[in-house]
Amino acid sequence: MVTSRIVFLGVALVLVASASAQLSENFYAKTCPGGVQAVAKVVTAAVSADRRNAAGLLRLHFHDCFVRGCDASVLLASTPGSKAEKDAGPNLSLQGFGIIDQAKAALEKTCPGVFSCADILSLAARDAISFIGGPKWKVPLGRRDGSVSLASEALSNLPGDTFTFKQLVSNFAKKGLNEADMVVLSGAHTIGLTHCFKVTPRLYPSADKSLNSTFVAAQRKLCPNSGSAANKFIHIDNTNGGQTFDVKYFKNVLTHQAVFKSDSALISTSSGRSKVVTLANSQSTFFSAFGAAMEKMGRVGVLTGRQGKIRTQCSRR
């Protein structure tokens, strides 16, 4: 029995590696020339209009890849008999769906039935972060779209903001991402917003003892302990207006000014702390490592070849 399980796991890993190997930056060179540029045009216009869209598109890509792999299942709408990923609790605050739809509509006019929603998601995240001054990484293309989307799988696969270091490492490992990938990808929290109800458990009735007291006082002013403030948005990283992609997030973690418990957990082990210190001290190191980890994440569980399909509308199966 043990031997058969090892063989099965080996076969599964080979299949995943094979699918990932079929991706190529030039995948649409003949079938949809100009398609990559068309996506970038839509994305840069959206982020230029509202810089907050960069965080939204990055988070959308992450939440897609961590459930069933990077197959655009997060974009599918619920049906009368099945609640989709996008309607699961952790995904109710996701943003950027309209931008993806806009890019898909543009592509359907010039290259109908060719460009996958999964590839649009991957490109959109890269283009959005690059546009606001963050790193630009390679995005090999050729993903196909999945047809299954289950809210229950989002709940069981996405990492939680109260996770311990051990839980984070385990969660990422299930996606083929290692500890270093987990730490650097957590740096995505250098941009974006969260609700006060995500923050107040660490502030009231008594503050989390691991937090900086000055930080606690500032957070309490932003998020008073009242029901009316629960849905108020605050920056995850308040430095530089909360929308600059830089190493300030890691500096905040080191000075015990992290919003989420899972962020504070990064320095709860000597291994994690060492990685955070390295990233906090060099923006070029952070950018390089983040780009490499994003490219790696973009290959998680991809469908290629005859697998999956090409949706003509990203929200419909």
Q: Is 208 annotated as a binding residue?
A: no
Q: Is 263 annotated as a binding residue?
A: no
C-alpha 45: how far from chain center: 21
Q: Is 101 annotated as a binding residue?
A: no
Element (H, E) at 193: strand 193-195
Q: Is 190 annotated as a binding residue?
A: yes
Nearest alpha carbon to residue 286 among 176, 169, 178, 188 = 188
Q: Is 159 annotated as a binding residue?
A: yes
d(CA 51, CA 44): 10
Q: Is 73 annotated as a binding residue?
A: yes
Q: Is 179 annotated as a binding residue?
A: no
Which residues, 6 or more positions from 57, have their beta carbon under 8 angstroms from its beta carbon? 43, 47, 96, 99, 100, 121, 124, 125, 128
Q: Is 71 annotated as a binding residue?
A: yes
Give, rounded to a whole angstrom, the gap between the first and last alpha carbons of the chain: 37
Is residue 63 annotated as part of the catalytic site, yes or no?
yes
Q: Which of 61, 63, 235, 256 is catalytic?
A: 63
Q: Is 67 annotated as a binding residue?
A: yes
69 torsion bin: left (phi>0), alpha (psi -120 to 50), beta (else): left
CB 127 within 8 Å of CB 56: no
d(CA 72, CA 57): 12
Catalytic residues: 63
Binding-site residues for substrate = 159
Binding-site residues = 64, 67, 69, 71, 73, 85, 159, 189-190, 237, 246
Binding-site residues for Ca(2+) = 64, 67, 69, 71, 73, 85, 190, 237, 246
Binding-site residues for heme b = 189
